Amino acid sequence: MSGCEPGGSVGAFLCQAGQVLRAAAIEAPRQEARLLLAHAMGCRQEDLLRDPRAPVPPEAEARFREVLSARARRAPMAYLLGHTGFWTLDLLSTPATLVPRADTEALVEAALAAFPAPETVRRVLDLGTGTGALLLAALSEFPDAFGVGVDRSPEAAALARANAARNGLSSRAAFLAGDWGAALAGRFDLVLSNPPYIESAAIPGLMPEVALHEPALALDGGADGLDAYRALAALLPQVLAHGGRAVLELGQGQEKTVGALMCGAGLRPLGCRPDLGGVPRALVVGR
């Protein structure tokens, strides 16, 4: 990093890091530089701004250079910080899973709208649980519910289990590693899923944080992006309780196609909630 101020100070490092991140086409380089330096120094961003001339300790400098270099290679910020926010939760985040995104919160909103009486939801299933974000957010809103999260990745299931403990929900959640539907007994009032839905050929063209760093297993929906929805259409009639609802995340432009798949399986699309950008994101399905 080239110097902008007399070396070693917080202000100098922030200036230098901003230049590095700007050159890497990061959209908010100064903001991210503050986040990374605060992380490396084990302090709050406000502490950095209080005294820009304060020295950066050598051990913090080494950590900062490491995470800055990774971010310049477009590693996701959540992986570098080790955690991220979703709904009202703080979740551990590692390369074993996708980074939870604000768009996915539309599924939680749709679930709450589908069950205006929270006490009626007793059993929740999350297929492709990843960090556990959807299941844990649902459990935080449906206080009488117990939930099961399933993921093909043992590392993802272990991370979701750690996130349940981190958010005080371990006693109400269980996580399994395996194929969807394996070892599942009984029916569920609410089924949630953010499945892989990107067309295989489109993955290399995604933003570098996703294409280069997030797990392909959680992204790749097959040649037409619909493989996971076909599996869901086959499974949902077996696991949805009478009066139950499934809420499925959609990729852009998939609403009608996925709705038709569900209809073909004897299920009934009941509406689609948009995300913050207005894209139809959360498809609600009933038996």
pLDDT at 165: 98
Residues 156 and 24 in one domain: no
Residues 128 and 177 in one domain: yes
- 5 band by pLDDT with thresholds 50, 70 and 90: very low
Question: Nearest-CA neighbor of 18 among 28, 8, 5, 7?
Answer: 28
Average of per-residue pLDDT across 47-65: 91
Q: Which residue range(s) make up the domain with 46?
A: 10-73
Average of per-residue pLDDT across 126-133: 97
Region label for 138, one of left (φ > 0), alpha (ψ between -120 and 50) or beta (otherwise): alpha
Residues 60 and 92 in one domain: no
Residues constituting the chain: 287
Residues 118 and 60 in one domain: no
Q: Please state the domain count of the chain.
A: 2
pLDDT at 4: 41
Average of per-residue pLDDT across 180-205: 91
Count of CB atoms within 10 A of residue 254's CB? 23
Predicted TM-score (pTM) of this structure: 0.91
pLDDT tens per residue across span 59-92: 999 999 999 999 999 999 999 999 999 999 999 9
78 belongs to a structural domain: no
Count of CB atoms within 10 A of residue 88's CB? 11
57 belongs to a structural domain: yes
Q: What is the CATH number of the domain that holds 227?
A: 3.40.50.150
pLDDT at 122: 97
Residues 149 and 276 in one domain: yes
Residues 122 and 42 in one domain: no
pLDDT tens per residue across span 137-152: 999 999 999 999 999 9
2 belongs to a structural domain: no
- 186 band by pLDDT with thresholds 50, 70 and 90: confident
Residues 110 and 192 in one domain: yes
pLDDT at 179: 87
Residues 183 and 224 in one domain: yes
pLDDT at 183: 61
Boundary residue ending a domain (73, 104, 123): 73
Average of per-residue pLDDT across 189-194: 98
pLDDT at 7 over 80: no
